Structure 1
């Protein structure tokens, strides 16, 4: 948050025994906000399916041209990310080109994510990670 207090934590797994690749939860770990599983689509290639806290498919994160995008399962709405992920220099926009979030390096090992008022902050954080 603005005071530097953590609002969530992320856990990652590459183990074949785990079906969850990424989990976004409360700082205490007692509530899962969302998670990702491997996904494959014959027409678009591999990616990650994003699930909400009720384990319903929410959307898909996939490579998209020179960036990557999140496409929502129910409405087909898409959030596109462009920039340089390695440098934590990205911006996210919707299909109309409206800026939804900006991500920039903020010192060694840290980045700052600024999310517009009407964007889903959890979705942005999950997609950036």
Structure 2
């Protein structure tokens, strides 16, 4: 089974509320640490196989497929998640402004408030993107 299929299966598994919360809290902790590392590095580039990048960010290959699902619309060139195998070569080019916007869209305040954003986007730019996000939600 491909990593993205594994991820979908993991997220669709029926769980009791405490197990559901524990699953997502554990994932969000790993996701947050991955973004801290990416923002600290500040290159916007990730290169390696799916398995290598999974290891780098201390995630299972399925969890990393979930991470890719979340960041995919913030890449300069989106990837086909369905086709990814553990040995697939990845060259990801992250659009940081789009990522910041999409974090607002996902209501992921634990991500768009990370201090690691400060050297990447000025406070003014972050405010402008947040304003742009809010304006995009006005009917």
**With structure 2 as the length reference, what TM-score do the two structures score?**
0.23
Q: Which has the higher helix share?
A: 2
Higher relative contact order (CA closer than 8 Å, sequence separation 6+): 2
**With structure 1 as the length reference, what TM-score do the two structures score?**
0.24
Q: Which has the higher strand share?
A: 1
Give the structure with higher Rg (CA): 2
